[in-house]
Amino acid sequence: MLKVEGLRSRYGRIEVLHGIDLEVSQGEIVTVVGANGAGKTTLLRCLSGIQPVSAGTISFQGEPLTGIPAYKRPAKGLTQSPEGRQIFGNLTVEENLRLGAYNFHDERVGKDMEDAFQMFPILREKRNLAAGGLSGGQQQMLAMARALMGRPACLLLDEPSMGLAPIIVQQIFDVVESLKGRGVTVLLVEQNAFGALRIADRGYVMENGKIAMQGAAADLIADPRIREAYLGI
């Protein structure tokens, strides 16, 4: 579904991605784990089109994404839930969700919103409040729900567990896992390697802008090198 070949990207003169190859198949949950500064977020930003690509190709559902601006990618089914949540703080929860469905104007928007409220009941309670007043965990839920309102075929999730209490993290990961049942393919970028690998089918380990290891998530969790370097076990 999503195929990345030889992807390079730079900030000014400093290259931060040195040729990434990565593939996500329909219906999978794939995770990219790695330490802070490994280039995980930059990779996602390249996929969503916010970060310029200096070499290599990204193709989505067989179509190259080169030259397609960020704002046109959600309509193609590739939606990002950005790092640091980036909710629209001065808008209400409901307005945030409606913006997630910016490309759609049919009756399904109402149904999707109902789905979102079922997934995260707290959002229903707060639907008419300014999103800026939500707690960190609620904002993360809103960011995910907003991305889902765009009916993505493939959802790019950037560090959904960042800065959240363990119990909320568990809840968020449960929801990510459940997306599989809804036919949404997920590419999950995480520092919380253990939590991410537990729900993923396959994983990539990034180090200094390169893919250092890849394989089935279960194998990666069991690999002694990974356990030592990232899982702290």
CB of 188 to another protein, least distance (A): 16
Nearer to another protein, 74 or 203 (CB): 74
CB of 157 to another protein, least distance (A): 11
CB of 72 to another protein, least distance (A): 7
Whole-angstrom Cα distance, residue 215 to residue 225?
Answer: 13
Question: Under the rule (CB under 8 A), what is the footprint of another protein?
Answer: 48-50, 69-75, 79-82, 86-91, 95-96, 98-100, 102-103, 105, 143, 146-147, 150
Q: What angle do CA 36, 147, 137 make, to 5 degrees?
A: 60
Which amino acid type is present at position 45?
Answer: R
Nearer to another protein, 31 or 48 (CB): 48
Nearer to another protein, 34 or 82 (CB): 82
CB of 126 to another protein, least distance (A): 17
Taking alpha carbons only, the member of 190, 202, 158 closest to residue 25 is 202
Nearer to another protein, 96 or 161 (CB): 96
